[in-house]
Amino acid sequence: ESVFIKGTIFDQAEDLIKGDLVGVLTGPDNVVLKEFTVVSGIVYNFSTSWFSLPGKYSVEVESNNLKNFLNFVVKEVKNIDVNVSGNKILFKNMGNVQYIQRGDIDAVVGDVVYKIPLSFDLKVGESTFVDLSSELPQERYNLSISGNYANFSFENKFIEDNRDLGKKV
């Protein structure tokens, strides 16, 4: 999500004073991510790309001798997008931390269950896939993916057989 900052300056009579506020956004590792200037009373929007790391962020604003700050916390998000496209199961890390998945893909046809081990380690924004056509005979399968964080299922997916001769035997 985006973060919106609205800095306002008031006089002693609590009337809004027009003026510029100089601000600094600091990340969880105490590195300055952005310096900005905003007019008093106007909203400033930070893009979500600044907040990919979980942790505590600080915003400090200053005008003349007036200073104020606020802190906000970005929580750790483990989120994976899983889709079946053709013969492949596609995985994309949509969270803000590394996503490590260990588990199995169960491909079920009738009473037969094929178990395909699943293991990957994705950095933020990275993708990978498993090509089922190199693992399974040609058939329609009900697929279920179980792992350490999430489970997914896909019904009635047709998989072609592109296994090499050694696997077919």
The amino acid at 7? G
- In this predicted model, what pLDDT tens digit does every residue of 70-108 receive, in sequence order? 898 888 888 899 999 999 999 999 888 999 999 999 999
Residue 30 tokens, joined: 């105490």
pTM for the model: 0.72
Residue 7 tokens, joined: 């800095």
Helix (H) or strand (E) holding 60: strand 55-63
- In this predicted model, what pLDDT tens digit does every residue of 40-76 receive, in sequence order? 888 877 776 655 788 999 989 888 878 888 898 888 8
95, 124 in Cβ contact below 8 A?
yes
Residue 43 Cα distances to 7, 36, 116, angstroms:
7, 12, 51
The CA-based angle 59-95-97, given to 5 degrees, is 75
